[in-house]
Structure 1
Amino acid sequence: MKVNFKLYASLGQYLPPGSVDHKVALDVADGMSPSRLLEQQGVPQAEVHLVLVNGVFIPPSQRDNPLVEGDELAVWPAVAGG
């Protein structure tokens, strides 16, 4: 199935070649979860802070729920500011 995968800020380094504007369309196995997709792409869980699926916040306890065809997974690291 196809999902849109977006990584922002310092996480952008984990996007595969050919990604444009911090995003890429990926073919993934049916039942792929946000946690598994991040692991598959080599994104360290310790760097993951904010996870959204189709613009809806996904708390850590729900990141093993399966994605469906056409979902958009967007992920941000923790950021500091002042």
Structure 2
Amino acid sequence: MSLRLKIVSPEKVEFEGLVDSVLVPGTKGAFEILNNHAPIISSLQTGKVEYAVNGVRNQIQITGGFVEVQKNVVSLCVEIA
């Protein structure tokens, strides 16, 4: 595990920790974020954010938001469905 993920909604921090991968519903299509992903900022649409911790997949349903990736740190600011 080498990605640090932080998922924040207006209500609270939904998740913060180390993950193997993150799959997000980008407005131009879903994409997966893995170790050493290029820096990116993207808007998100309604769908599922999936993240893997020790091979176990977890999901959060969102209605939109943004994702930023920089130096193996993935930050999501989302509206929870």
TM range (shorter): 0.3 to 0.5
TM normalised by structure 1 equals 0.44
Q: Which has the higher contact order (CA 8 A, sep 6+)?
A: 1
Q: Considering only CA atoms, is the larger Rg found in Structure 1 or Structure 2?
A: 1
Would you tell me which structure has more strand in proportion to its own residues?
A: 2
Task: Name the TM-score, length of structure 2 as normaliser.
Answer: 0.44
Higher helix share: 1
